[in-house]
Amino acid sequence: MTARRLIAAATAALALMVAPAGAVAADTAANAAPVAIGGGISYQLIGRWDVDKLNQILTKDTPAFAGIAETYTPATNAVRLYRVTYPSVIPERNSRPTVATGLVAVPEIAATALPLVSYQHGTVYGKQEVPSYPDQSPETQLMIAQFAGQGYLLIGADYFGMGASTEQEGYMVKASHQQATTDMLTASRAVLADMKLSDTGLYLAGWSQGGFVTMAMLEKLERDGVPVKATATASAPLDVFAALNGFLNFPRQNDAVWVNSLFILSSFSFETYYGIPGLARSLFTDDTYELAKKAYLREPFDPAAIPTDLKKLIRPEYFDAQFFAASAYGRLIAETQAYRWVIRTPVRNYYGEADEAITVGVAKMAETWQRAMGAGNPMAEAVSTGPTSHRGTFARAVPQWKVWFDGK
C-alpha cells in the first residue's frame, strides 16, 4: 500500500515517481530474443547495468526519490537484467490460467551458487512501473543496486494485471498475490538452472503493498514447506482493515492525501477478482464513481478531479465503522491480513514513526500478535527506522535488510 503513486496528485507530483534510471544498455539488449525453456516459461535480456550506473542509483537517484540521504554499500559488480514470462492461475477465478511477468537480475561474477532475494514491489499507478520494467521503477532500481550489485540474485514478480499481463489489476487480492509470487519463484529457479546457476538460500523483502505481499508469500511458502532464510518488510499494511478503518474513522493529521487510491484500486480489484458486481459502485459517491473507474482501468482522466477528502469520494455510510465492517467490501478487507499464522521464519517488519500511510500500530501487528501467544513467538520483530516518511522508511530499511541477510 505504497505512497508511490498518488492518484489525486497533480501531474508534477506524478512525475517525481518516474525518475529515469538512465540508459539500459540498449546495445546488449536491443536484439535479444526470448529464450523458451519449456512449461510456458521464457526469459529475455532487457539490459545490463554497470557498476557506475548502480552506484549512481545509490548515491543520487534513490535520495532524490526518497527525499532522505542514506548510506549504501557501493556496488561491486555489473548486473544483467532479464524479463521472465511464466504461466500461472488466478485462484479467485476458479484457477483460470493466465500469463505473468517478472524480473530476474543476475550479478556478473564468477560464482554460480548465490543467495536469492525475492522482492515484492509497492503500489504503482503506471502499469509498467514494476520490476520487469526496471527503468520505470525507482524501488526496483535500489534493490538491484544494493543486492544484485553485491552478488545476490534478485527476482521480482509484477503481480497480475501489471507489467505485460493482460489481466485487470488484482490489487491486494491475497491469493492472487501469493500465486503470482510463488509461481515467479518457481519460474525464476528454472531460468537460473537454464543459465547453470543456483541459489544458496531464499530471502523475501517488500515495501508497502509489497510488504503485505511479502508476508502473504511467506505464509504460502511455509504452508508448502519451501524454506526461507529470512523475511524483511518496510511500511507493510499487515492488516488492511485496520489501515483503511483508520483513514475512514480515526484520521491522523499527517495521513497522505493519496490514500484515496487505496480505496479505488482495492474495491475495483475485489469486484473483478472475487466476482461481486456493483461492489465499487456501492463504495463511491455518484459523482466520483466514473472517475474512480477510469483511474482503476488506466483510462485517461484528470487526477486532480478525484477528491483527496475521503468524505467527498466515499458514501457517508462507510464512515460508520459497523456499516463498513458488515459491508461486502468491509468483509473482504477484513480477510486481507498477512500475519495471523504461527510464523516459523525470522521476520523483521521495519516501520517509520512519521509514515503518512502506515501507522506504527499496523506495522507492528505481526510482532504483537505472535508474542500474544503464551510465552510469545519471537520470530516476528518490529524495527523502527526513526521519524521517517513512507519512502524514507524504505530507503533506510534496505541497507539494514542487506546487513541482516548477509548474516543469515
Overall average pLDDT of the 284-294 stretch: 97
Q: At residue 4, does pLDDT exceed 70?
A: no
pLDDT for 27:
47
Q: At residue 304, does pLDDT exceed 70?
A: yes
156 in any annotated domain: yes
Overall average pLDDT of the 263-292 stretch: 98
6 in any annotated domain: no
Lowest mean pLDDT among 17-21, 44-48, 98-102, 375-379: 17-21
Overall average pLDDT of the 179-203 stretch: 98
| Averaged pLDDT score across all residues of the chain | 93
**Between 59 and 28, whose confidence is greater?**
59
Q: At residue 190, does pLDDT exceed 80?
A: yes
Instruction: Tell me: do 92 and 167 sit in the same domain.
Output: yes
pLDDT for 21:
34
Instruction: Tell me: do 358 and 312 sit in the same domain.
Output: no
Is residue 153 within 8 Å of 105, Cβ to Cβ? yes
Enter the DSSP assignment of 259: G
Axis-axis angle for helices 260-274, 240-249 (nearest 10): 130
Cell triple for 105 = 537480475
Residue range(s) defining the domain that contains residue 31: 11-238+345-406
210 in any annotated domain: yes
Instruction: Tell me: do 365 and 232 sit in the same domain.
Output: yes
Phi and psi torsions of 267, nearest 5°: -65, -45
Per-residue model confidence as pLDDT tens digits over 361-401: 999 999 999 999 999 999 999 999 999 999 999 999 999 99
Which of the listed residues 315, 334, 353 is the one where a domain comes to its end?
Answer: 334
pLDDT for 148:
98
205 in any annotated domain: yes
Per-residue model confidence as pLDDT tens digits over 226-252: 999 999 999 999 999 999 999 999 999
152 in any annotated domain: yes
Instruction: Tell me: do 324 and 360 sit in the same domain.
Output: no
3 in any annotated domain: no
Task: Read off the pLDDT band of 343 (50, 70, 90).
Answer: very high
Instruction: Tell me: do 286 and 142 sit in the same domain.
Output: no
Task: Read off the pLDDT band of 47 (50, 70, 90).
Answer: very high
Cell triple for 301 = 482522466
Instruction: Tell me: do 310 and 395 sit in the same domain.
Output: no
pLDDT for 28:
52
Task: Read off the pLDDT band of 2 (50, 70, 90).
Answer: very low
339 in any annotated domain: no
Find the CATH number of the domain harbouring 183: 3.40.50.1820
Phi and psi torsions of 222, nearest 5°: -65, -40
pLDDT for 30:
58
Instruction: Tell me: do 219 and 247 sit in the same domain.
Output: no
Q: What percentage of residues in the chain have a pLDDT greater than 70?
A: 92
pLDDT for 32:
87
Q: What are the residues facing 116 on neighbouring strands?
A: 153, 202
Cell triple for 121 = 514491489
Q: At residue 33, does pLDDT exceed 60?
A: yes
pLDDT for 317:
98
340 in any annotated domain: no
pLDDT for 129:
97
Q: At residue 8, does pLDDT exceed 90?
A: no
Q: At residue 303, does pLDDT exceed 70?
A: yes
Instruction: Tell me: do 297 and 315 sit in the same domain.
Output: yes
Spatial separation of the C-alpha atoms in residues 86 and 150, rounded to whole Å: 27
Instruction: Tell me: do 208 and 294 sit in the same domain.
Output: no
Instruction: Tell me: do 25 and 82 sit in the same domain.
Output: yes
Task: Read off the pLDDT band of 71 (50, 70, 90).
Answer: very high
Per-residue model confidence as pLDDT tens digits over 94-143: 999 999 999 999 999 999 999 999 999 999 999 999 999 999 999 999 99
Instruction: Tell me: do 230 and 248 sit in the same domain.
Output: no
Instruction: Tell me: do 83 and 139 sit in the same domain.
Output: yes
Q: At residue 5, does pLDDT exceed 50?
A: no
Cα–Cα separations (whole angstroms), residue 31 to 34, 44, 45, 400? 10, 10, 9, 38
Query: What's the total number of domains in the chain?
Result: 2
Q: CB within 8 A of 273, min separation 6: which ones? A: 90, 92, 93, 170, 173, 176
Which of the listed residues 334, 360, 392 is the one where a domain comes to its end?
Answer: 334
Angle formed at CA 251 by CA 247 and CA 253, multiple of 5 degrees: 130
**Between 96 and 17, whose confidence is greater?**
96
What's the length of the chain?
408
Per-residue model confidence as pLDDT tens digits over 148-182: 999 999 999 999 999 999 999 999 999 999 999 99
Which of the listed residues 308, 334, 360 is the one where a domain comes to its end?
Answer: 334
